[in-house]
Amino acid sequence: MKTLISKQQRFMLDVINRLGCIRKDQLSELVKSEFCSIKPEVAPRLVNSAMNQLLYGNVQIRRDGEVYRLPHVKPNPKLLEAIDVMLELGGAMLIDYRAGAPPVLLRFVVEGEKVRSFTVLPTNTDVGNMPIDRTERIILLFDGQGQQPSALPVSNKQFLAIRQENGSHRFVALAQN
Protein backbone atom coordinates (compact mmCIF):
# COMPACT_ATOMS: atom_id res chain seq x y z
CA MET A 1 0.00 0.00 0.00
CA LYS A 2 1.36 3.38 -1.01
CA THR A 3 1.28 6.13 1.60
CA LEU A 4 -0.02 9.49 0.42
CA ILE A 5 1.75 12.45 1.94
CA SER A 6 1.21 16.18 1.62
CA LYS A 7 3.59 18.68 0.05
CA GLN A 8 4.49 19.89 3.55
CA GLN A 9 5.22 16.34 4.77
CA ARG A 10 7.37 15.69 1.69
CA PHE A 11 9.30 18.89 2.49
CA MET A 12 9.81 17.80 6.12
CA LEU A 13 11.03 14.35 5.04
CA ASP A 14 13.46 15.99 2.61
CA VAL A 15 14.80 18.21 5.41
CA ILE A 16 15.36 15.19 7.67
CA ASN A 17 17.01 13.25 4.84
CA ARG A 18 19.36 16.18 4.11
CA LEU A 19 20.33 16.78 7.73
CA GLY A 20 19.93 13.39 9.41
CA CYS A 21 18.37 14.95 12.51
CA ILE A 22 16.64 18.19 13.45
CA ARG A 23 14.84 19.62 16.48
CA LYS A 24 11.11 20.32 16.23
CA ASP A 25 11.62 24.09 16.68
CA GLN A 26 14.22 24.14 13.90
CA LEU A 27 11.92 22.21 11.57
CA SER A 28 9.13 24.68 12.40
CA GLU A 29 11.38 27.57 11.35
CA LEU A 30 12.10 25.94 7.99
CA VAL A 31 8.42 25.10 7.45
CA LYS A 32 7.48 28.67 8.40
CA SER A 33 9.80 30.17 5.79
CA GLU A 34 8.64 27.71 3.12
CA PHE A 35 4.88 27.56 3.71
CA CYS A 36 3.65 29.91 6.44
CA SER A 37 5.01 33.37 5.67
CA ILE A 38 1.54 34.92 5.92
CA LYS A 39 0.61 33.14 9.18
CA PRO A 40 3.90 32.09 10.85
CA GLU A 41 2.14 31.04 14.07
CA VAL A 42 0.66 28.07 12.16
CA ALA A 43 4.06 26.41 11.56
CA PRO A 44 4.47 24.62 14.94
CA ARG A 45 0.96 23.13 14.75
CA LEU A 46 1.55 22.09 11.14
CA VAL A 47 4.82 20.36 12.08
CA ASN A 48 3.18 18.57 15.04
CA SER A 49 0.28 17.16 13.07
CA ALA A 50 2.28 16.35 9.92
CA MET A 51 5.10 14.64 11.80
CA ASN A 52 2.69 12.67 14.02
CA GLN A 53 0.99 11.34 10.89
CA LEU A 54 4.37 10.39 9.41
CA LEU A 55 5.59 8.74 12.61
CA TYR A 56 2.46 6.61 12.88
CA GLY A 57 2.27 5.97 9.15
CA ASN A 58 5.29 3.65 8.95
CA VAL A 59 7.64 6.27 7.49
CA GLN A 60 11.29 5.64 8.31
CA ILE A 61 11.85 8.45 10.80
CA ARG A 62 12.20 8.39 14.56
CA ARG A 63 11.57 10.88 17.35
CA ASP A 64 13.81 11.23 20.41
CA GLY A 65 12.16 13.85 22.60
CA GLU A 66 12.17 17.04 20.53
CA VAL A 67 14.48 15.63 17.81
CA TYR A 68 13.34 13.97 14.59
CA ARG A 69 15.95 11.72 13.00
CA LEU A 70 16.64 9.02 10.46
CA PRO A 71 16.66 5.49 11.97
CA HIS A 72 20.43 5.04 11.53
CA VAL A 73 21.37 8.52 12.82
CA LYS A 74 22.02 9.41 16.45
CA PRO A 75 21.20 13.03 17.29
CA ASN A 76 24.40 15.07 17.16
CA PRO A 77 24.38 18.12 19.48
CA LYS A 78 27.05 19.86 17.34
CA LEU A 79 24.99 19.37 14.17
CA LEU A 80 21.90 20.68 15.96
CA GLU A 81 23.87 23.77 17.00
CA ALA A 82 25.13 24.15 13.42
CA ILE A 83 21.48 24.14 12.27
CA ASP A 84 20.78 26.93 14.79
CA VAL A 85 23.63 28.93 13.22
CA MET A 86 22.25 28.25 9.73
CA LEU A 87 18.79 29.48 10.73
CA GLU A 88 20.24 32.61 12.35
CA LEU A 89 22.31 33.50 9.29
CA GLY A 90 19.99 32.28 6.54
CA GLY A 91 16.44 32.41 7.79
CA ALA A 92 14.06 32.70 4.84
CA MET A 93 16.96 33.25 2.42
CA LEU A 94 18.28 29.66 2.58
CA ILE A 95 18.49 28.07 -0.84
CA ASP A 96 20.37 24.86 -0.03
CA TYR A 97 21.66 22.97 3.01
CA ARG A 98 22.86 19.51 3.97
CA ALA A 99 24.87 17.75 6.64
CA GLY A 100 28.49 17.27 5.66
CA ALA A 101 30.87 14.36 5.88
CA PRO A 102 33.01 14.56 9.04
CA PRO A 103 34.62 16.80 10.08
CA VAL A 104 32.16 19.13 8.27
CA LEU A 105 28.97 19.49 10.32
CA LEU A 106 26.88 21.40 7.81
CA ARG A 107 27.07 23.22 4.50
CA PHE A 108 24.47 25.78 3.49
CA VAL A 109 23.87 28.50 0.92
CA VAL A 110 22.15 31.84 1.55
CA GLU A 111 20.87 34.18 -1.14
CA GLY A 112 20.83 37.86 -0.25
CA GLU A 113 22.55 40.61 -2.19
CA LYS A 114 24.95 37.85 -3.22
CA VAL A 115 24.82 34.07 -2.99
CA ARG A 116 27.06 32.99 -0.11
CA SER A 117 28.18 29.49 0.86
CA PHE A 118 28.98 28.53 4.44
CA THR A 119 30.70 25.53 6.00
CA VAL A 120 30.24 24.89 9.72
CA LEU A 121 33.04 23.04 11.52
CA PRO A 122 33.90 22.19 15.12
CA THR A 123 36.68 24.42 16.49
CA ASN A 124 39.24 21.62 16.65
CA THR A 125 39.05 20.73 12.94
CA ASP A 126 42.11 19.75 10.94
CA VAL A 127 41.50 21.11 7.43
CA GLY A 128 44.60 19.52 5.94
CA ASN A 129 42.92 17.32 3.30
CA MET A 130 39.46 18.88 3.33
CA PRO A 131 38.03 20.11 0.05
CA ILE A 132 36.93 23.67 0.85
CA ASP A 133 35.93 26.01 -1.95
CA ARG A 134 37.75 29.35 -1.68
CA THR A 135 34.42 31.22 -1.76
CA GLU A 136 32.95 29.38 1.25
CA ARG A 137 32.82 31.21 4.54
CA ILE A 138 33.92 29.02 7.43
CA ILE A 139 32.12 29.11 10.75
CA LEU A 140 33.80 27.46 13.73
CA LEU A 141 31.51 26.44 16.59
CA PHE A 142 33.18 27.51 19.80
CA ASP A 143 32.27 25.15 22.62
CA GLY A 144 33.31 27.55 25.37
CA GLN A 145 36.15 25.30 26.48
CA GLY A 146 39.71 26.62 26.58
CA GLN A 147 41.01 29.53 24.54
CA GLN A 148 39.27 30.82 21.47
CA PRO A 149 40.79 29.18 18.40
CA SER A 150 42.90 31.04 15.91
CA ALA A 151 42.13 31.16 12.20
CA LEU A 152 42.52 27.99 10.15
CA PRO A 153 45.34 27.89 7.59
CA VAL A 154 43.05 28.60 4.62
CA SER A 155 42.34 31.87 2.82
CA ASN A 156 38.56 31.75 3.35
CA LYS A 157 36.72 34.28 5.48
CA GLN A 158 36.34 32.68 8.91
CA PHE A 159 34.04 33.35 11.83
CA LEU A 160 33.73 32.04 15.34
CA ALA A 161 30.16 31.28 16.48
CA ILE A 162 29.81 31.72 20.24
CA ARG A 163 26.54 30.58 21.83
CA GLN A 164 24.96 33.18 24.08
CA GLU A 165 22.87 32.51 27.21
CA ASN A 166 19.65 33.09 25.24
CA GLY A 167 20.60 30.37 22.74
CA SER A 168 21.51 32.69 19.86
CA HIS A 169 25.07 33.11 18.62
CA ARG A 170 27.49 35.99 18.48
CA PHE A 171 29.75 35.92 15.42
CA VAL A 172 33.34 37.11 15.58
CA ALA A 173 35.56 37.41 12.51
CA LEU A 174 38.89 35.62 12.88
CA ALA A 175 42.01 37.40 11.67
CA GLN A 176 43.83 35.64 8.86
CA ASN A 177 47.43 34.54 9.43
pLDDT tens digits, residue range 1-50?
456 789 999 999 999 999 999 999 999 999 998 887 778 788 889 999 99
pLDDT range class, residue 176, cuts 50, 70, 90: low
Q: Domain residue spans in the chain?
A: 7-69, 77-173
Residue 21 to residue 27: CA distance in whole angstroms: 10
The Cα–Cα gap between 35 and 113 comes to: 23
3-class state of residue 126 by DSSP? coil
**For residue range 49-96, what is the model confidence (pLDDT) as tens digits?**
999 988 887 678 999 999 999 999 999 999 999 999 999 999 879 999
Select from 163, 164, 100, 169 the least CA-distant residue to 136. 100
Confidence of residue 150 (pLDDT cuts 50, 70, 90): low
User: Tens digits of per-residue pLDDT, 36-58?
Assistant: 777 878 888 999 999 998 888 76
Q: Could you tell me the pTM of the whole model?
A: 0.89
Question: 3-state SS of the chain: helix, strand, coil percent to 5?
Answer: 35, 25, 40
Any residues with CB less than 8 A from the CB of 72 and at least 6 apart, and which?
none
What fold characterizes domain 7-69? Arc Repressor Mutant, subunit A (1.10.10)
